[in-house]
Amino acid sequence: MRKASVERNTKETQIRVEVDLDGTGAYDVSTGIGFLDHMLEQLSRHSLMNLTVRAKGDLHIDFHHTTEDSAYAIGEAVSKALGDRKGIVRYGQALIPMDETLTRVALDCSNRPYLVWKVKFTRPKLGEMDTELFKEWFQAFAQSAGLTLHVENLYGENSHHIVESCYKGLARALKQAIDIDPRQANVIPSTKGVLGGSM
């Protein structure tokens, strides 16, 4: 069973996450940030990963710590659930249209974290949330999940559509990459015999 739970407690945030990579896309998310909750629900629903998140943070200061730390915790849970990554497809990609917006996401469950972020927003905030925080979320998630992650908004005008297409693209690419390949179910998908470290 590819399930894991993570608790992350600091002076800034207290976060508990549970994931089931072979779920149905069921979610129960509460971070105190409405827009972030909405994006995490999209991540769960479109990856078919069951996701539970309970986060309390210093929102009276700003949303930065809760946004970033939730990504670290979710990414760590995904990495734990993947284990040695034996049998996974490893690579995934998605091209997500949303009205006037088109976003491309490609990833490698390589255990070599790296983010390429080619996304610009037309507004500095979505509701109460600074749009610059979305890069921080994706960076933290890629780091702790062990993903080489490329996110590129090809075009778009509406900032809500742009960021939502990024999360849906991540979800769809992740679903593809973590699926088990029946032809190599007991094999780590690398000529090195291990994922991570040098090329």
Render pLDDT for 15-67 as a digit per residue (tens, 0 to 9).
999 999 999 999 999 999 999 999 999 999 999 999 999 999 999 999 999 99
193 found inside a domain: no
pLDDT band at 194 (very low <50, low <70, confident <90, very high): confident
88 found inside a domain: yes
Angle at 124 between CA 123 and CA 127, to 5 degrees: 85
Q: What is the CATH number of the domain that holds 90?
A: 3.30.230.40
The pTM is what?
0.95
Nearest Cα neighbor of 158 from 150, 169, 146, 166 is 166
The pLDDT, as a whole number, for residue 79 is 97
Average pLDDT, the chain: 95
Distance CA 60, CA 16 (A): 20
Q: Which one has a higher pLDDT value, 187 or 166?
A: 166
Average pLDDT (155-176) is 98
120 found inside a domain: yes
Domain hosting 111: range is 3-184
Do 31 and 40 contact (CB within 8 A), yes or no? Answer: yes
The count of structural domains within the chain is 1
Is the pLDDT confidence value at 76 over 90?
yes
Is the pLDDT confidence value at 96 over 70?
yes
Average pLDDT (92-99) is 98
Distance CA 131, CA 121 (A): 7
196 found inside a domain: no
